[in-house]
Chain A
């Protein structure tokens, strides 16, 4: 068996004395599209931030492509191909769309390849191309999310961490965003998706983990979890 691209072993994350993630283990094989679902405050965003390195780890192991990375600072993890699209999109509101996208290539020196990637992203996100010179803060929520994803792609990630890309967006827009994510996945990028919209996430991904108060309570293929009565009761609003 090949080494999984990402492995969490009994990972614990704490804010001061309060443990938000109480020892979780999960695994992603290269090329997989996996989602992490759960209610508000379950520790999903915390987990993602810890994987990206913007948050410290209290215990356990975090392996990326077989290497321990708990001590690696965030900017070095990105250089190894681990990119995060933060919750609430996290775009640079006072820069233009183009400046935002180019910031994604901040760590790259291969200018020509960056230009090629820009073109590739324009074909993937035509709406974004129309607004290159606009200040990013004036875009609609969906467009901002597209910019955030485009920016993350410009770092040429091997593993893309998406934090609630559907948050606060209209269903039609969400559909478009997920189409983009599917295209990215088809290009071979491994994706870990955090979602509150469990229905959507489960339909969309190959496998999923369910998180509850800092622990993983269920895992399985998207279809299995969708059929699971417990999941249906807790997250899909069925009695």
Chain B
């Protein structure tokens, strides 16, 4: 929150309090602004918040603990399918969401440990390959576990997943206030997701400055030295995998409820890579950067989609390039420019260190105390 406020150009450094209000106002008012452009945009915002949660979770593993995970979407899948199993006509189960989401998160955490255990000794590119394989295994399992016993319903996925019902209030139905005003369910989902994101941010911020967060930073910088100062590197790495997966699992549950159905194709390798791209783009290891990265890279391709089609039609008379192709092109271009211009991301981690005057200012302030 504070980091996000400080990252606002110009205002952030001059008037942090005002900047904080700006962040809050934007977070709360965003769907109203999006509504001006149509309901689709509110939907995109909802998805953007899910991606923010995913990016926050993956950042825990990659940014904090330095373990490159290319199969993160698998935890999203575990969370989503757990929700679909426990709250849909598929198994005739309809458990309430406040039970299903924690169960989904716990299942994802367990999957994180299952992935973590055999990969403890691996680092860097070797770890990346194994995690990539893990992500694909989960997806292929979901795709094929409809035979001989139908568990996942195969490529068709599971339909009619229960919506979120908050204390008897189904938020997938428009909320009527009086006779005049109806609030679209997309708004309601937005605020529920926003609450989850806020909770994640608070949790992760606490984690980052805790003993666990410091242990992760040590492992990321030098694993041998981390061992030498008495950090149980095995447990800390497993904790990073499972906690990171927890966020993915919770987001997955929300996704299943929001979308109403789940199918294996939502959990492809490209999704894992897209989330990693968001982190790298925004600033690995920096919470504010990660949030900005996730929002930007979810919104930009959509904007492009709505601009590219009409522009092409006007110029050439028909659509030459499919917007989906453009999305990948744009992601790649964004990465290339980022690497050239700001290799540490839009809001780099520890930006204070790169500005000696701020550091001096801080020590001076401390000396005055």
Tell me, rounded to whole Å, the shortest Cβ–Cβ distance linking B153 to chain A.
45
- Shortest beta-carbon distance, A131 to chain B, in Å? 10
B225 / chain A contacts, CB cutoff of 8 Å: 86, 90-92, 148
A151 to B226, CA, bound (A): 11
Distance in Å: Cβ of B221 to nearest Cβ of chain A: 4
Name A103's contact: one of B218, B220, B232, B349 (CB within 8 Å). Answer: B218
| A54 contact set on B, CB distance < 8 A | 224, 227-228
Which of B220, B222, B232 counts the most chain A CB atoms within 10 A?
B222
Query: If the complex has contacts A75-B232, A106-B211, are A92 and B227 also in contact, measured as CB distance less than 8 A?
Result: no
Complex Cα spacing A79 to B229, Å: 9
Q: Decide yes or no: A106 and B214 within 8 Å by CB, A75-B232, A96-B353 being known contacts.
A: yes
Shortest distance from the beta carbon of B80 to any chain A beta carbon, whole Å: 34
Across the interface, do B215 and A106 meet the contact criterion of CB distance under 8 Å?
yes
Q: B229 to A103, Cβ gap below 8 A?
A: yes
Q: For the complex formed, measure the closest distance between the CB of A82 and the CB atoms of chain B, giving whole angstroms.
A: 10
Interface members, chain B 196-236 (any A CB < 8 Å): 211, 214-215, 217-218, 220-222, 224-233
Closest A residue to B359 using CB positions: A133
CA distance A49 to B226 in the complex (A): 13
Contact A90 B222 (CB under 8 A): yes
Shortest A109–chain B CB gap in Å is 11
A133-B362, A134-B359, A135-B350 known; A86+B217 contact, CB < 8 A: no
A84-101 interface with B by 8 A CB criterion: 84-86, 90-96, 99
Q: How far is the CB of B99 from chain A (nearest CB, A)?
A: 37
Within 8 A of B (CB), among A58-113: 73-75, 78-79, 83-86, 90-96, 99, 103-104, 106-107
Q: Are B221 and A92 in contact (CB under 8 A)?
A: yes
- Interface presence of B363 (CB below 8 A): yes
Within 8 A of B (CB), among A14-38: none
Report the Cα distance A83→B229, complex, angstroms: 7
A44 to chain B, nearest CB (A): 16
Name B363's closest neighbour in chain A (CB-CB).
A133
Contacts A/B (CB < 8 Å), 6 sampled: A79-B230, A92-B221, A95-B217, A99-B217, A132-B363, A151-B229
Closest 5 CB pairs of A and B: A90-B225, A78-B230, A92-B221, A107-B230, A84-B228
